[in-house]
Amino acid sequence: MNRIFHVKIAGGTYFLLILLTAVMVFAFWCMKAMIGLVVALGLIIIIERIIHSTYMLTADGKLVVYYGRFYKGKTIPLTDITDVELKRSSGFGGIMPSKYVLIHYEKKNLLSLVPVKPEEFINALVKRLEHRIEEE
């Protein structure tokens, strides 16, 4: 059975959306339609990525990282994962700390994921990794 985890939206992302919306409104207000359209297109792409980004643990033993329709996703076989760590970042100078999951895979490759519930994601991933090791 596939297990899907959604991406946590960081505080900086909200700030970026508010800033780009203000720039877009100001551009249309000042009769700079081309600038407003370009910023509106950027907003659409960012919002689409926020809404559709997911991390999926598949039944056939893969971790699928999907960043939305406009970006290429990443598929990692669970057998390639060597280590999983829960890390804490300081955010904006310690003001907005957050947790993220650091995955080591293949040879010296790293992948940073920010699921809504990082502990639950790690537990599900470790459970699937243990299950894969028992099968082999």
For position 5, what pLDDT does the model report? 94
SS3 105: strand
> How do residues 72-91 score in pLDDT, each as one tens digit?
889 999 989 989 999 888 76
Average pLDDT over residues 45-71: 91
For position 106, what pLDDT does the model report? 87
Edge-to-edge, what's the strand order for the sheet holding 62-66? 3-6, 54-57, 62-66, 74-77
**Taking the domains of the chain in order of start, what are their residue ranges?**
3-134
Evaluate whether 43 touches 36 at the Cβ level (below 8 Å): no
Alpha-helical (H) ranges within the chain are: 11-29, 33-52, 118-135
Q: Which fold has domain 3-134?
A: PH-domain like (2.30.29)
